Structure formats: C-alpha cells, structure tokens
Amino acid sequence: MSRMIADFKAFGLAYLRSRTGFFFALIFPVILILVFGAIFSQTGTQKIDLPVQDLDNGTWSQTYLAKLNATGAFTIDMISPDVDFNRYIKDELKVLALQIPSGFNESVNNATRGHGPPATIILKGDPTNTYFTVGMGVANAVALQLNSTVVAMVQTENLGSPQYTFIDFFVPGMIAFTALTTPMFSMSSICSEYRNRGFFKLLGSTPLKKSEWLTAKILWYTVLMLASIAIMYVVGIAAFSAHFTITPMAILLVIVGVFLFTSFGMFLGVFVSNPESASALANAIGFPMMFLSGIFFQLESMPAYLQYIAKALPLTYLAEGLRATMSLGNDVVAATDLVILLISGLILFMIAARAMSWKGK
C-alpha cells in the first residue's frame, strides 16, 4: 500500500509537470464541448420529431394523421397501441408526443352530427419547451380544420420537462471519451517508454509489484478524471445551462471506465516498441471509437452495420451509461453498462498484466 502511494505520488508529479498530458486530460475536452456545443445547440428549422400512438385507428384518426403529415412540420413515428405511452415518452425523452384516444372516430362522427362536444386529441410532453408550443399550434390547427365544423381539438397533458438538450447528450459522451483518451493514450506510450528507457527494469529491481504499479496508474487517472468531470460539469452548466447531474453511479462508471482503458492502453503498450508508434496506434484506435460510439451523433442515426460495430465497443457502453445516469436519471440502464464494462475491464486487465513483463530478454 505504501509502495503504491509512493508510486502514485511520483507519477502524478511527473504527469502534472508534462503539460501535454495535462492539456489533453483537462483542457481539450472543454474546448470540444464549447465548439460542438455551439454548433449543435442551435435550434434549426428541421422537422419536429413526433411519436404518435393511435388507440382508435379509425378513418378519422387516419385522416387527421395524414393531414398532420402533410403540413411537413413533423417527422411522425407510429408507436404501437400496446406501449405504455407516458413511460415511453419519459424514457425516450420526447419533448412532445401525440395520442389519439380510443373512440375518437365515434366522437368525431357524433360531433359532426352536432350530438356531442369535439373529440379530443392529446398532446403530451413538456409545455415549457418551444418545440412543444410550435407542435401544439400545428396539431391544433390541423384538428380544427378536420371538418367544416369544429369536430376535434388538441388538449395538452403536461408530463413535466425532460429538458434533454444536445449538451446533455454531449457532455456525458465527452466524459466517457476523456476517460478513454487520457488513460489509454498515456498508458500505451508510457509502457513503451518505460521499456525503452529501462524504467521497468529499475522498478523491477524494487519491491514494487506490477499490480501495485498498475493500481497506482488507475488511481491517478481516476483522480484526473474526477477533476476533468468537475470542470466539464461547470462548463456545461455555465455555458449551456445543461441539466445533467453528477451521480454516484456516474463516478462508479468513470472509475470502471478508467480501469478498462488503462488496461487497454497497457495492452497496446506491450506490443509496440516506441512511444511514437504507441500513440499513433492509440490514436488510430481511439478516434474511430469516438465517432462510432455515439459521442457526437446518436447511435440511432447511424447505419445499421455501424450500430453493430458500436455495440462491440466498450466506449459505447460507457457513454450510454453516463448519459443514462447523468442526464436521464436512469440508473438501471447505467448499472447494466457498469457490469458490462467491469467484466470487459477485468478481462483486459488480466490479459495486459500477464502480457506485460518487467523482465528483460
């Protein structure tokens, strides 16, 4: 334990004094957040995403939906009547969603004949959101024009605000990404540097154990990551009024993520002979992962075959888990991701610790 602390202290000191490592761990993610946040946070003129659940499925509801679609304001996504709609909206963080109640056809027919009040269409979601207001306007206008007299109206149902913005999506992804780059890039080059400069032999001549050395590295990167998270959190809130929170589950995920990617970096370092090729290799692996694991773009917006690749990448699970716990408050999803990461981390750690040797040839 004292050996590990000694190693932790010396390594941390040297790390802080090398400014590049420091830059990539703490400053670089902030720059990315500011740049991408500024680009993607604009409310564009794109269509509004609208899930629709038609519980009636009669002629009138179909007519209504066809007219709604014809406005071009929405991308309509039909949700099966079996789905618990409120739950769906919450889980998927929809700002607005439309439900046509059963008996809609009959109500419209009755209203047409003057035998009853106008039928209702329910718009659920977050009334404080601008998209909701816009969507409400369009949906109601279409309802009012369904027939020559008013036969249907839109009523709203407040489901509270998911308030999930791009930055809420992006910052947890960025945290995941930093948890990958910081340990992986630096471990892979450290391993080859230590081998080439005889530092492993030097350490090997002391009572320090390989596992203690590794643990000290993991500990150091964890501390660094916690500092990085704190900074990203402050920047996200201050610059973009983000809504995510730092949860205990998020901390756990980051620790396990650091553990996994430190092991992975060490694994890479075992196989490359010099620090330059080690960092080239880490880049070659790290950057595609960053795009494939849905750090910048939602996985759902990618082609299916890329989604399969994404499912095989650990970063995907870290990003997903962090988003789930930090932005969506869904610790069940996050816990599943945690388990996946922990298992793959343990496997990688064992492979790497075995492959790495401090002995000379």
Position 10, amino acid: A
Binding to another protein by residue 158, rule CB under 8 A? no
Binding to another protein by residue 199, rule CB under 8 A? yes
Tell me the angle at which helices 248-271 and 314-326 cross, rounded to the nearest 10 degrees.
160
| Position among 81, 101, 204, 329 found at the interface with another protein (CB under 8 A) | 204
Calculate the CA 313 to chain-centre distance: 14
| Position among 86, 117, 145, 201 found at the interface with another protein (CB under 8 A) | 201
| Position among 35, 39, 78, 202 found at the interface with another protein (CB under 8 A) | 202
| Position among 44, 207, 248, 303 found at the interface with another protein (CB under 8 A) | 207
Tell whether the torsion through CA atoms of 351, 354, 359 and 361 is positive or negative: negative
Tell me if residue 335 falls in helix, strand or coil.
Answer: helix
Binding to another protein by residue 20, rule CB under 8 A? no
User: Which range binds another protein by CB under 8 A, 102-110, 155-163, 206-214, 248-256?
Assistant: 206-214
**163 — alpha (psi -120 to 50), left (phi > 0) or beta?**
left
Other C-beta atoms lying within 10 Å of the C-beta of residue 286: 20
Binding to another protein by residue 203, rule CB under 8 A? yes
User: Which range binds another protein by CB under 8 A, 67-75, 136-144, 159-167, 207-215?
Assistant: 207-215
| Position among 34, 122, 150, 208 found at the interface with another protein (CB under 8 A) | 208
Extract the runs of DSSP E, i.e. beta strands, from the chain.
Answer: 48-54, 74-79, 96-100, 119-125, 152-158
Binding to another protein by residue 353, rule CB under 8 A? no
Q: Considering only CA atoms, which of 134, 127, 131 is closest in space to residue 165?
A: 131
Q: Six-digit token pair at 148?
A: 């020559």
Binding to another protein by residue 87, rule CB under 8 A? no
| Position among 3, 67, 90, 210 found at the interface with another protein (CB under 8 A) | 3
Binding to another protein by residue 10, rule CB under 8 A? yes
Tell me if residue 72 falls in helix, strand or coil.
Answer: coil
The least distance separating another protein from the CB of residue 18, rounded to whole angstroms, comes to 6
Binding to another protein by residue 18, rule CB under 8 A? yes
Q: Which residues bind another protein (CB under 8 A)?
A: 2-3, 5-7, 9-10, 13-14, 17-18, 197-199, 201-209, 358-361
